[in-house]
């Protein structure tokens, strides 16, 4: 049979495994903020008004395309690593108050900078925030972390944004919540069975209840160049007999 390419298996065979850290955080955080704006402010719907039926827009009116204000709301960040912290910095600039759940607290200096509130209980945080941003890695421990039970804790005016991995959220339960109006909307860049996208999500997108993107949060020219550069540096270091700088070590 095949051997899974994981640090432990590779280490047993003397094969170094490397990755590209510190490359995607800014780009992914930017796209997370884009979705945080797009869903409550109905950007997708607004754009389609002008493209789907050109010439039929009657012009501005005070009750036209009303969305929800971002400023002053609470964001709950699930996973406060490099990407989650980058999201928090951007969200704070938009006037959101920062709340987060993580395996461990970030440094006091970072909490002070972001005026962030740490929640040891994910359940309690989910019940009290207006926007949930998923920024944790996909691991056995985070599979369906945002479960049907946890989705039920969200307020009906809450939004959920996922730019991490699709299987962190129970997609079927999310679809049910959206269809029944249990939450206000969602912005998704990742999907549980991608590249397949659930047709029910597409229908919800056409109804303006979700914004869907094709896993493009890290897709910038600069980011891909940086990733390639790190790969080359690691290969060169290995060939020259040096320890590659970005090794993934077993158990980490």
Which residue is catalytic, options 101, 150, 165, 171?
A: 165
In the set 41, 194, 224, 247, the catalytic residue is 194
Tell me how far apart the alpha carbons of residues 173 and 144 are, in angstroms, rounded to a whole number. 10
Q: Which of 215, 222, 242, 252 is catalytic?
A: 215
Are the C-beta atoms of 12 and 24 separated by less than 8 Å?
no
Look up 194 and say whether it is catalytic.
yes
Using an 8 Å Cβ cutoff, are 98 and 115 in contact?
Answer: yes
Token pair for 223: 């980011």
How does DSSP assign 63-123, residue by residue? TTT-----TT-EEEEE--SHHHHHHHHHHHHTTPEEEEE-SS---HHHHHHHT-EE-S-HH
CB 96 within 8 A of CB 131: yes
Q: What's the first-to-final CA gap in the chain, in angstroms?
A: 25
Q: Is the dihedral of CA 47, 74, 210, 215 positive or negative?
A: positive
Q: Is the CB of residue 84 less than 8 Å from the CB of residue 136?
A: yes
Give the strand order in the sheet containing 74-78: 117-118, 97-101, 74-78, 131-134, 159-162, 185-188, 210-212
Catalytic residues: 165, 194, 215
């Amino acid at each position: 049979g095949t051997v899974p390419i994981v640090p432990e298996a590779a280490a047993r065979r003397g094969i170094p495994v490397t990755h590209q850290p510190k490359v995607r955080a800014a780009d992914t955080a930017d796209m997370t903020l884009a979705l945080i704006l797009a869903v409550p402010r109905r950007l997708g719907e607004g754009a389609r008004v002008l493209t789907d039926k050109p010439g039929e827009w009657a012009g501005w009116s005070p009750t036209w395309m009303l969305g929800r204000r971002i400023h002053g709301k609470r964001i709950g960040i699930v996973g406060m690593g490099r990407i989650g912290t980058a999201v928090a910095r951007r969200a704070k600039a938009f006037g959101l108050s920062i709340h987060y759940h993580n395996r461990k607290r970030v440094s006091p200096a970072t909490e002070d900078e972001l005026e962030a509130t740490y929640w040891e209980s994910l359940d309690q945080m989910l019940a009290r925030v207006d926007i949930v941003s998923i920024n944790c890695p996909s691991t056995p421990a985070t599979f369906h972390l945002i479960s049907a039970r946890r989705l039920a804790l969200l307020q009906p005016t809450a939004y959920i944004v996922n730019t991490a991995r699709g299987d962190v959220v129970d997609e079927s339960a999310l679809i049910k919540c959206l269809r029944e109006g249990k939450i206000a909307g969602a912005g998704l860049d990742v999907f549980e069975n991608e590249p397949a996208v659930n047709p029910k999500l597409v229908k919800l997108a056409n109804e303006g209840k979700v914004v869907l993107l094709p896993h493009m949060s890290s897709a910038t020219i600069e980011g891909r160049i940086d990733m390639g550069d790190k790969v080359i540096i690691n290969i060169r270091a290995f060939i020259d007999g040096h320890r590659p700088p970005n090794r993934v070590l077993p158990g980490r």
